[in-house]
Structure 1
Amino acid sequence: MKKRTVGSFDGPFAPMLDLFVKQKQALGYDYVGGYNALHVFDTFSKRYEVKNYELSKEIVLAWSQKRPNENDTTRSARIMYLQHFAIFLNSQGYSGYIAPPQKYHFSQHTAYVFTKAEIKKLFISLDQMEYTPNSPYRHLSFPLLYRMLYGCGFRISELLNLTVGDVDIERGIIHIHDSKNGNERLVPMAATLAARCRTYTESVHNDHEEDFPFFFKKDGTGYCVSNIERHFREQLWLAGIPYLGKELGPRVHDLRHTFICHRLNQWAKEGVDLTAMLPILSKYVGHTGIASTQYYLKLTAEAFPDVLEQMDELTGHVFPEVGGVMYEE
């Protein structure tokens, strides 16, 4: 796994920040998000006179102030990273003020679970895409990209970061690097999806090096998430699937939710022991722990009420009840 190079901090906490990030990486985390946030803090801290690496209450409270146009998720994350750094400073014998827990109002999305009929309509519409000179590869890339999102439950960022070398077309395995929380994993595909990847690779990647983007634009660069989100809403309209707005979706990420729910639904119908399979599914989709996957038991029961009784029999008194609408992104 590629690691973020440490050593570019130059503020009053630079040596401690270097040591802290290196410690995180030694534990197996890429820590890209933390590095980026702390790099900004490194510059921010130059405004203050700091002695003996003391992270004062004044500095922490100033850092915690809400910025113009900053959403609560971003603010919460950067405060969290500084909390972790303060704990580290204390463990090293220095003084670090730890910001108190704060309540935030997060914008919550309602997960949308596609029906099998909607998935079929979406793929039919995608397969009707035609060649255009401005985007000569899109009609080949997008039908595969959306099938991979639904067929393996990938996050869209994971697919857009793929290179040619990450896709083993012979064994049908995808190598995910630097995923959410700095994790990496190997993801085997179904034979039909692996065959599509093989056909696509042979069509567009004959002369490309292993570090070339697997999904790429005319200029050879990769797509960004906003490109895909915009196209996805267009594709929903062409497929006759209503877009219900930002909060209700459907969003690109809902294809990941749908993969998980459809898999749980199928297992429940087959009478599979979900207590045994849920940890496997959790690892397959890249959750950091089984708690993130437990949400989908409730979501699946809501989407497929006809299997509610089977799921209750398979999971009753084993998993805690999951409430609310929060779920892993």
Structure 2
Amino acid sequence: MTKPYFTGPFAPMCEIFVAQKRASGLVYDQQAMLLRMFDNFCKGHEIQNYTITKEIALDWCQKRLNEKDITRRSRVGEMQRFSVFLSKQGYPSYFLPVLPKQGETHTPYIFTKDELKRIFERLDTLIPTNASPNRHLTYPLLFRMLYGCGLRISEALSLTKGDVDAENGVLHILHGKNDRERFVPMSESLTTLCSQYLLAVHQSTPAEMPLFYTKSHTNYSKSCISKEFKGFLWDVGIPYRGTSLGPRVHDLRHTFVCHNIQRWAEEGVAIYSRLPVLSKYLGHTSVSATQWYLRLSAEVYPHIRQICETELGGMYTNILNFEMQEVDSDE
């Protein structure tokens, strides 16, 4: 007789959870192993009605001796996903949105629609220079792509001509953060702009040529783009407030996410059902990283808070109880 994979107090719910994940097409082997570790850990706790209490969650979150941050985040992230599942099954569980990252903290700057309009209008007035003969074509597309697709600047600058399927409007991110590969659909207007760009600057270039290339046919550096961006912000009256307050190029990605959540909330779309799709689109390793944006969106657009509270209940309240941390970066 085969020994059950899960043998702890959450075993029946773990089996259902993993079965659902695999039925959706996921392999879910490594995640199942992490979930089994959590289930075994809970053998030392008193479990009632398949509920993950605050005490259990915080005990599981404690960093272990010589444990790497990425390992800790992985096992805590799996507990978070399981907690969401249990709550949906009628077993209210404590919900920790994400572990803080070490290092730099940055307060995201969410651009208004008017600020974006001013930025893009400024970009559309650029003229070529001897040092940068394609800047009037490169920058309007690059910054629209960062906002319109929510790309990290490193991902955009790593794109090659061959990574762009202009016919179908899809970008191929071959090496995203943590070397994750994904395909990113573009809007119709962005696809059109991309096609025009390819015709203008890539008619005779090889497939491996950087999509955005300098006069010497090399990749732009992130520092170069950051410096240019600060200049464009100054031109349209948006002050740069320093390293911790920005705005930074990466804030275009934050703005993309918050604007989408704002639109879903105002249109009555079930936000939580869209988060897994948004998470994949952004290249996040887990939905928990994307959930952080619910709080950020509610702080920027207070009228969204009531919508989120109504839809997510206690899970959303728990999100608000934690300090906002930068859970998504371009590093």
Name the TM tier (shorter chain): 0.5 to 0.7
Quote the Cα distance in structure 2 between the aligned partners of 1:141 and 1:82: 36
Contact 1:109 1:325 in 2 (8 A): no
Q: 2:261 aligned with 1:249, yes or no?
A: no
Distance 1:161 1:265, change over 3 A: same
SS of 1:221's equivalent in the other structure is coil
Q: What's the secondary structure of 2:314's corresponding residue?
A: coil
Shift of residue 265, structure 1, vs aligned partner: 0.3
Q: Name the counterpart of 1:324.
A: 323
Residue 43 of structure 2 aligns with which residue? none
SS in 2 for 1:321: helix
* Distance verdict in 2 for CA 1:194–1:83, change over 3 Å: closer
Q: Is the 8 A contact 1:145 1:159 kept in 2?
A: yes
Q: Give the letter for the 1:199 counterpart.
A: Q
Instruction: Return the alpha-carbon distance in structure 1 between the equivalents of residues 281 and 208 of structure 2.
Output: 24
Post-superposition Cα deviations, 1:192-225, rounded to whole Å, max 9, x if no partner, equal 0000000000100000111000000011001010
1:82–1:166 CA distance, 2 compared to 1 (3 A): closer
Aligned to 1:185: 182
Figure out how many residues of one structure are paired with residues of the other and give that number.
234
Task: Give the direction of change, closer, same or farther, for the CA distance of 1:288–1:82 in structure 2 (3 Å limit).
Answer: closer
Q: 1:82, 1:152 → 2: CA distance?
A: 26
RMSD of aligned alpha carbons: 2.2
Q: 1-side partners of 2:236 and 2:299: how far apart? A: 24
Seen in structure 2, the aligned counterparts of structure 1 residues 104 and 318 have a Cα distance that, compared at 3 Å, is closer
Match for 1:132 among 122, 129, 134? 129
Partner of 1:289: 286
| Matches of 1:187 and 1:105, distance apart in 2 | 29
Deviation at 1:240, TM superposition (A): 0.9
Letter of the structure 2 residue corresponding to residue 325 of structure 1 = M
What is the alpha-carbon distance in structure 2 between the residues aligned to residue 315 and residue 82 of structure 1?
A: 28
Q: Distance in 2 between matches of 1:105 and 1:82?
A: 11
Once the 2 structures are TM-superposed, how far is the Cα of residue 149 of structure 1 from its aligned partner? 0.5
Q: Is 2:296 the partner of 1:272?
A: no
Q: Distance in 2 between matches of 1:237 and 1:131?
A: 19
On the 8 A contact 1:164/1:205 being kept in 2, the answer is yes
- Amino acid across the alignment from 2:231: E
Matched, 1:112 2:92: no
2:319 partner letter = E
Kept in 2, the 8 Å contact 1:108–1:325? The answer is no
Q: What is the CA–CA distance in structure 2 between the aligned matches of 1:308 and 1:253, rounded to whole Å?
A: 24
- The 5 A counterparts of 1:100-179 are 106-179=103-176
Which amino acid is the alignment partner of residue 323 of structure 2? Answer: G
Distance 1:81 1:298, change over 3 A: closer
TM-score, normalised by the number of residues in structure 1: 0.68
Match of residue 229 from structure 1: 226
Displacement of 1:324 after TM fit?
A: 1.6
How far, CA to CA, are the matches of 1:243 and 1:311 in structure 2?
31
Q: Percent identity?
A: 45
Partner of 1:57: none
Quote the Cα distance in structure 2 between the aligned partners of 1:244 and 1:306.
27
Q: Deviations over 1:59-99 (max 9, x none)?
A: xxxxxxxxxxxxxxxxxxxx949999xxxxxxxxxxxxxxx
Q: Distance in 2 between matches of 1:232 and 1:148?
A: 14
1:86-125 superposed Cα distances (whole Å, 9 cap, x missing partner): xxxxxxxxxxxxxxxxx99733111111111111111011
Give the Å deviation of 1:321.
Answer: 1.2
Partner in structure 2 of residue 30 of structure 1: none
Residue 207 to residue 104, structure 1, CA distance change in 2 (3 Å): closer
